[in-house]
Each structure stands twice: as structure tokens, then as C-alpha cells.
């Protein structure tokens, strides 16, 4: 739903149903990495300089032109969080940093989240839009941003299996460098490799062709010592290593400000083994996505 914006009131309202919970969508408005990933309209990127997700807290961010026709564009803005109710409502002020009188003035942005049959209806109302920005442009920009938000929050892991192989795909909201490090740094690997299903001890991890990958995986019943060898290592692009059964390939592809991870495990002996490994790899990839995202947030 979109209300017709009017220049007289300098106000516009847009709504969008997103197939995710109100809490998940709400969190994407207050997570610095996720906000930077979905808020800039097509042709722009963003950097969140700081964000304090509490009532009275402030935020500041900058949009940069990414497309050729807006390559020189740079606009910073920020405001204060007036009201925060998780999964229900966000109210914050918003003001551009500009010397132009037509860009002056404090806006009020109200975002509501309502659970509906298909997920969450998100409604954004922006008031007191500066004279330099036609409300119709603000309307178009918000619709574009909410489309990207929907893609972001509904992007979980996908799984494909055959009798003897599996492929897990997951877009991780972090730079490829950070995701690559999570797979090649022993300390980082130890934080996510077993998910919450098993404890993992890394004995060796030499991310180079012929390098050793030696781990112990423990559950309540058994210890599993696994000796692997790296067969192929292309930095920030591709890892291939043996497993105690079959071979694992992990590919990394930069997607916007995030990274698509594709993990393929092939050479498994039967359907039962494939299903067991699929459960483990799905959980592990979800854990690495959360671990890397949290690490990026702490570094900011």
C-alpha cells in the first residue's frame, strides 16, 4: 500500500508485507550492518557511522553514489530514536547535514510492524520532508528500500540434495574478507564449526594446497577425530578439502555488501549419510552467518 504523497504536507506513507516475523524485520532497522545493506536505494551504498539502538540514542550514516550517474553523490544524515518497541514500533527523527536551506528541517519517521497471515506488514510514515525532495521521490526511494529489506530478511539457507551429495547456499551479511577469515582462521572456525550440535577442537588448519585440517568433534556419546587435506585454495573465492567421507567445496561470491556462501559436500555413500551431513552443515552455516555478523557489529 502507498498513500499519495502531497507536497503541501511534505509527508508520505508506504507499506509492504514481508515474509518474516515482526521481530526479525524490526531488528533489521537497528542492526548497523543490515541497515547499511538495505536502506540505500538502487544505485547507492551506505555506511553507518554509529547507531545506539535505545530510546534517546542517536545514529548517523552516509549515502554514497554507486552508479556512474551519481558517482559524486555523498549525503550524511542522522537523528535520535524517540520510541522503540521491539516488533511493534520505531519512531526517530531524521535530518540531513547540508548547508542548503531547501534541505533543512527535522523529519519524523514512524515505522510500525504488524503481524499478518503472510508475515509482517511494515508501514513507514515520513513527515516534514525537506523542500528539495519531492515527496514522490521519497516514496519511490522507500519502496525500493523495502524491496531490498524483504530480500534481506527472507534470505535464509537453501538446501539441495541428491543420493550422495548436498549443497547449502547462504547469503551472509558481511564482507567476503570477513567470511573468508571465518573459514580459514583456526580461532574463527572453532567458534562456529560444530554449531550447537557438537563441541569442536581445531588441532591444525593450514589453508593452502596440501595443508592439514585436523579436528575433533565431540558430542555426549563420542569423539570423532577427522583428518583432512586442503586440495585447492583460491583466496576469498574457493576452498576444497577432503573429509572423512567425500569432499567439501566452499565458494565465496561478493553480493552487494554481503557474501554468498555455497558449500557442496559430494562423494557421500548413501541417502542416510547425506541427510545427516545436511542437517549439520545447515546448522553450521547459519551459525557462521550469525557469528560473522556479530563480529562485524562489534568492530564498528
> Which part of the chain has CATH 3.30.530.20?
12-153, 158-299
Q: Which residue has the cell 552443515?
A: 281
Give mean pLDDT, residues 204-233. Answer: 92
Q: What is the CATH number of domain 12-153?
A: 3.30.530.20
The pTM assigned to this predicted structure is 0.56
Q: What is the pLDDT of residues 58-97, one digit of tens each?
A: 999 999 988 777 778 899 999 999 999 999 999 999 999 9
For helices 176-184 and 271-299, the axis angle rounded to 10 degrees is: 120
pLDDT at 129 over 90: yes
The conformation of residue 103, written as its DSSP 8-state character, comes to G
For residues 279 and 60, what is the distance between their CA atoms, to the nearest angstrom?
Answer: 40
Which CATH architecture does the domain made up of 158-299 adopt? 2-Layer Sandwich (3.30)
By three-state DSSP, how is residue 31 classified? coil
| C-alpha cell at position 14 | 508506504
H helices of the chain, in order, are: 22-30, 32-38, 135-153, 176-184, 186-192, 271-299
Rounded to 5 degrees, φ, ψ at 218 are: -125, 140
Q: Which residues contact 70 (CB under 8 A, 6 or more apart)?
A: 43, 44
Give mean pLDDT, residues 280-298. Answer: 77
The answer to whether 75 touches 96, Cβ cutoff 8 Å, is yes
Q: What is the pLDDT of residue 298?
A: 47
Phi-psi region of 256 (alpha: psi -120 to 50; beta: other; left: phi over 0): left
Which helix (H) or strand (E) segment is 113 a member of? Answer: strand 107-116
For residues 267 and 249, what is the distance between their CA atoms, to the nearest angstrom?
Answer: 11
The answer to whether 127 touches 133, Cβ cutoff 8 Å, is no
Q: What is the pLDDT of residues 8-67, one digit of tens each?
A: 578 999 999 988 888 889 989 998 888 998 999 888 889 999 999 999 999 999 999 887
Polymer length of the chain: 300
Amino acid at each position: 500500500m502507498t498513500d499519495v504523497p502531497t507536497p503541501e504536507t511534505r509527508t508520505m506513507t508506504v507499506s509492504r508485507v514481508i515474509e518474516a516475523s515482526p521481530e526479525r524485520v524490526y531488528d533489521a532497522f537497528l542492526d548497523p550492518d543490515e541497515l547499511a545493506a538495505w536502506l540505500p536505494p538502487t544505485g547507492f551504498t551506505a555506511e553507518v557511522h554509529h547507531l545506539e539502538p535505545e530510546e534517546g540514542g542517536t545514529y548517523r550514516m552516509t549515502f554514497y553514489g554507486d552508479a556512474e550517474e551519481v558517482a559524486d553523490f555523498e549525503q550524511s544524515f542522522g537523528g535520535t530514536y524517540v520510541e522503540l518497541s521491539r516488533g511493534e514500533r520505531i519512531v526517530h527523527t531524521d535530518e540531513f547535514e547540508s548547508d542548503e536551506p531547501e534541505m533543512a528541517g527535522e523529519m519524523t519517521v514512524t515505522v510500525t510492524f504488524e503481524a499478518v497471515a503472510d508475515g509482517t506488514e511494515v508501514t513507514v510514515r515520513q513527515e516534514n520532508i525537506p523542500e528539495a525532495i519531492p515527496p514522490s521521490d521519497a516514496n519511490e526511494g522507500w519502496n525500493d528500500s523495502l524491496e531490498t529489506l524483504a530480500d534481506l530478511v527472507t534470505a535464509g539457507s537453501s538446501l539441495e540434495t541428491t543420493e550422495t551429495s548436498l549443497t547449502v547456499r547462504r547469503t551472509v551479511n558481511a564482507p567476503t574478507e570477513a567470511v573468508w577469515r571465518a573459514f580459514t582462521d583456526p580461532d574463527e572456525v572453532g567458534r562456529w564449526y560444530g554449531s550447537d550440535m557438537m563441541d569442536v577442537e581445531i588441532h591444525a588448519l593450514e589453508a593452502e594446497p596440501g595443508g592439514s585440517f585436523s579436528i575433533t568433534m565431540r558430542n555426549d556419546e563420542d569423539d570423532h577425530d577427522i583428518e583432512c587435506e586442503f586440495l585447492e585454495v583460491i583466496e576469498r573465492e574457493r576452498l576444497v578439502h577432503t573429509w572423512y567421507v567425500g569432499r567439501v567445496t566452499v565458494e565465496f561470491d561478493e553480493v552487494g555488501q554481503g557474501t554468498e556462501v555455497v558449500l557442496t559436500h559430494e562423494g557421500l555413500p548413501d541417502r542416510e549419510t547425506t541427510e545427516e551431513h545436511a542437517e549439520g552443515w545447515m546448522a553450521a552455516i547459519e551459525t557462521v552467518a550469525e557469528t560473522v555478523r556479530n563480529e562485524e557489529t562489534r568492530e564498528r
